[in-house]
Amino acid sequence: MVERQHRIIRELGMTMLFHSGAPLFLWVQAFSTAVYLINHLLSSALNSETPYFALHDTHLDYTSLRVFGSKCFPYTWDTRQHKFDPKTVFRIFGGYSDKHKGYKCFHMSSRKFFISCHVVFDELFYPYKNTQNQSIVPPTSHVISIFDSWLPHTNSTHNVEIESQTITPPCTSPLPVIPLLTSVSNSIIGSSSNMHESQQLGTTHETDMLQPSTNKTSQLETDVLPHLQVELFEQSFNTLHNDIEPNQLGLQSQTHKKQPPQIQPSPSMITRSQRGIIKPNPKYALTSTTNSTSIPHEPHNIRVALAHPGWKTTMDEELEALHKNKTWVLVLRTLDMHVIGSKWVFKPKLKPDGSLDRLKARVVAKGYHQVDGLDYTETFSPIIKPGTIRMVITIALVKKWPIHQLDVKNAFIHGLISEDIHMEQPPGMADLEHPTHVCKLQMALYGLKQVPRAWFD
């Protein structure tokens, strides 16, 4: 029970840290916030009430809950050193104060907490997550950056202004297409200074050749201008293509040497599966035969168990051991009793070779019906690490001590319990003289929450 609650707190705290992008050194505040939220959640064990209400008899105002790790602005009028200082400073919400009525506000640069009840929140902005996103620059392809430099932009350093490259022929009717095409070609090849100069010379030479008379302007526009546009663009593109190396475009050579096909060597050993010889393993065949014939299945209900002679004998032995240990006494049921249920658990035990060793049946109390503070108080989970077992075995080997494993039957139910716990009689095995009585437990029983604690004490 304790380990499960610790896991819930850890998972909830780590979820808040991951969602807000907060660093791991804020795990204490995240876990404290998780405990605060769990204490204000409805619990079926408390009749749909919160643990906080069961302890303080008051409910929480859920409108005061905020998102962990979000941006907040606390009112810091009492910490200002000058009247012109700002009334608030940007901080990060770090949980709720357990000693004051206020919020914990964390300052990123000084790493100090400030508690205030007058706080304005921006729950859609997470400073740590947005800081990490801004620091990560996505990789840009080299090919894209080169092609972007060809296109005219107003803010680019490689662009050439259109007005400066405009060529006006000495004629009464200007040619509107030639300046535009010349400026576009110059802006395309603006990334290289040498290429830019050569293009200016070529453009000037062709422009000098195109000085028509006034009465032949329309003929020039219809006959010469389309060819001039194509020649200028092809010349600009060919010059730029020759100046740029293929490795700058990130292009790989398309000429690949054809490698001869690799011939897989034939295996030196031919297995039985390759020859089609199938020989079953007798060990697995014996296990399959044993499991299908001599090992009974786990019964799904008490009627099936009572009908099987093996399970019936095991159940009688379990009840005899419980009565011999004086695990419970039968008492009359009253209205104010909190009675928990009981059930049978069946399990066949197998030997290393897969054959049946014995059948086991246990009477288990339904401990999930227990109420904290009513029929149990403290719990304990005995755990052991593999390193401890290795250390004990190592010491025994060094000292040359004999190692022997002892299996104590029903060792877990020899602990005494101090609480008043009432349980239903085992299903199908009720006392014939007092079938309506309930069991008042005197010794520990499997399934109770305080059994590990009683066994450890």
Q: What angle do CA 210, 211, 216 make, to 5 degrees?
A: 100
Q: What confidence category does residue 258 fall into, taking pLDDT thresholds of 50, 70 and 90?
A: low
> Mean pLDDT score of the chain, rounded to an integer?
74
Q: What confidence category does residue 259 fall into, taking pLDDT thresholds of 50, 70 and 90?
A: low
Residue identified by tokens 């998780």 is 34
Give tens-digit pLDDT for 16-71. Answer: 999 999 999 999 999 999 999 999 898 888 888 898 888 888 888 888 899 999 99
Give tens-digit pLDDT for 156-212. Answer: 444 444 444 444 444 444 444 444 444 444 444 444 444 444 444 444 444 444 444
Give tens-digit pLDDT for 322-364. Answer: 888 889 999 999 988 999 999 999 999 888 877 888 899 999 9
Tell me, what DSSP letter sits at residue 162? T
Give tens-digit pLDDT for 419-448. Answer: 889 999 999 988 889 999 999 998 888 888
The whole-number pLDDT of residue 209 equals: 44
Give the integer Cα–Cα distance in Å for 359 and 49: 43
The whole-number pLDDT of residue 15 equals: 93
The whole-number pLDDT of residue 178 equals: 44
Task: Tell me which amino acid residue 401 is.
Answer: W
Give the integer Cα–Cα distance in Å for 73 and 68: 14
CB atoms within 10 A of CB 116: 21
The whole-number pLDDT of residue 196 equals: 45
Give the integer Cα–Cα distance in Å for 111 and 29: 13
The whole-number pLDDT of residue 210 equals: 40
Task: Inform me whether the pLDDT recorded for 77 exceeds 90.
Answer: no
Give tens-digit pLDDT for 112-133. Answer: 888 888 899 999 999 988 766 5
Percent of the chain predicted with pLDDT > 70:
63
The whole-number pLDDT of residue 288 equals: 46
Q: List, in sequence order, the alpha helices (H) in 189-271.
A: 193-209, 217-223, 225-243
Q: Whole-model pTM?
A: 0.38
The whole-number pLDDT of residue 105 equals: 93
- Phi first, then psi, for residue 84 (nearest 5°) are -95, 0
Give tens-digit pLDDT for 277-301. Answer: 766 666 555 544 445 456 788 888 8
Residues 6 or more apart whose CB falls under 8 angstroms from that of 70 comprise: 20, 92, 93, 121, 122, 123, 124, 125, 126
Is the model more confident about 261 or about 387? Answer: 387
The whole-number pLDDT of residue 78 equals: 67
Crossing angle for the helix pair 27-38 and 2-20, to the nearest 10 degrees: 120
Give the integer Cα–Cα distance in Å for 12 and 5: 11
The answer to whether 65 and 35 have CB atoms below 8 angstroms apart is no
**Beta strands in 289-415, from DSSP E residues, in sequence order:** 328-331, 339-340, 342-350, 356-365
The whole-number pLDDT of residue 163 equals: 43
Mean pLDDT of 263-274: 64
Give the integer Cα–Cα distance in Å for 21 and 40: 25
Dihedral sign (CA 183, 184, 190, 194)? negative
The whole-number pLDDT of residue 234 equals: 52
Mean pLDDT of 239-265: 51
Distance of CA 151 to the CA centre of its chain: 44
The whole-number pLDDT of residue 100 equals: 83
46 in helix, strand or coil? helix
